[in-house]
Amino acid sequence: MAQPFTITPDGIRLAVRITPNASRNALEAPQIRDDGQCVLRARVTAAPDKGKANKALIALLAKHLHIPKGSMQIVSGPTSRLKVIRIRTDPQSLQPVLSGWII
């Protein structure tokens, strides 16, 4: 099964494909890209200007996962649509949400 996340010793790494300037903020179903990578799709209304879309993505994930924004950091792709986000938390606490992101 493909999943957009990997569990690491310090938490979770989440692969996300972001669409800025969307009509609404939303997390969508994971997708398998042409290169075989599984990513979670996210839409944010913010523009990709001076990190606004990145901040909106972190806020959206924090709200959906019920964890503080400060526990998340973009570790790859800050200016790209494809991003990897490190989430410092106990993976077991997110198990119900993560299981919904497996395709």
Q: Is residue 88 part of a domain?
A: no
Q: Is residue 39 part of a domain?
A: yes
Q: Is residue 16 part of a domain?
A: yes
Q: Which domain holds residue 57?
A: 5-77
Q: Is residue 55 part of a domain?
A: yes
Contacts of 69 (CB under 8 A, 6+ apart): 58, 59, 62
Structure tokens at 97: 């949400």
Phi, psi (rounded to 5 degrees) for 57: -65, -45
Q: Is residue 89 part of a domain?
A: no
Q: Is residue 21 part of a domain?
A: yes
Q: Is residue 64 part of a domain?
A: yes
Number of domains within the chain: 1
**CATH no. for residue 14?**
3.30.1200.10
Bigger pLDDT: 83 or 93? 83
Chain segment 1-28, per-residue pLDDT in tens = 789 999 888 899 999 999 999 999 999 9
